[in-house]
Amino acid sequence: MSSFDLTRRPRRLRATSHIRDLVRETHLRRDDLIMPIFVSHGSNIRREIPSMPGIFQHSLDALDRELDAISQAGVPRVILFGIPEHKDAVGSDAFDTEGGIIQRAVRHIKKSHPHLYVITDVCFCEYTDHGHCGVLADDGRLLNDPTLANLQRQALSHARAGADMVAPSGMIDGMIGAMRQALDEDGYDDLPIMSYAVKYASAFYGPFRDAVDSAPQSGDRRAYQMDPANAREALVEAALDVEQGADILMVKPALAYLDIVASIRANFDLPVAAYNVSGEYAMVKAAAAKGWVDERALATEKLLSMKRAGADIIITYFARDLAGDLS
């Protein structure tokens, strides 16, 4: 028998799986997850992204295979990113109501898999020939207000195609207010906006740029995306988006910014989303391929950390593969 007088023994609540399940503080559910999908012009395309094993570009005629897998896994929501056939200075495919790749994809999904909730990324970096998130001046500066006008056109085209939610990601000043105004005036006052409210200029985006060929042709995006060194600025950005009508606030990336997720959760009452970005996904995949880590266990632990920090919603490339393990 023990000779120690221990009044508290926390291990009692860790002794078996039954008690651990009973007292677990944070839960990861499949209903928390959103699966990103890359859709491309063309036909018979199912092209794996080299830096993101298991993630593919899909043409519309090949998309149902992915949608079936997502549905069978129990993931209820997707977010769409497009690879256009042609790029130009203003990214006109992004607001092409009839022929734009995202607009066509939304209509396809709503017809073939109407149970899926469809969110659309609203930005221009995939669609412009210069790779920046809007209209550029001759000297290479991103022009804020002309970009707002195009964001209004893009958001309306997505709404008219049948999108359930729009998600602007460019970190353009006033983007939420401009889009909310355009949507409301066109009768889409009930269409929610999930704002990439706090988006950092991050090295974790590398594989995504590979996926959609969106690397800037000159300069970088530090003049509009946030400095990774700044935390208080995140509260300023989020507060502006709340004031302008955002319905959900997102932090991107997630893993290296869990302090920011927690800060947004503590300071605002809106739902908080975290984007488990491409670089975070690729690192797990690369380590698992070497046999260095247990892929599913590590991926689950990472997503759980985002929930623990305060995220209500997680956008993750692991959604399809992990959802079957979740309730």
> Locate tokens 């607009």: which residue?
103
Among 87, 111, 199, 285, the active-site one is 199
- Asked if 252 is an active-site residue, the reply is yes
Whole-number Å distance between alpha carbons of 278 and 198? 17
Among 87, 111, 252, 302, the active-site one is 252
* Radius of gyration of the chain measured on its C-alpha atoms: 21
What's the longest Cα–Cα distance across the chain? 81
SS3 316: strand
243-252 as b/e, with b when 16 or more CB fall inside 10 Å? ebbbbbbbbb
- Asked if 290 is an active-site residue, the reply is no
Residue 66 near residue 58, CB atoms below 8 Å: yes
Cβ neighbours of residue 251 under 8 Å, at least 6 residues apart? 197, 198, 199, 234, 257, 260, 261, 264, 272, 273, 274, 275, 311
Instruction: Tell me the catalytic residues.
Output: 199, 252
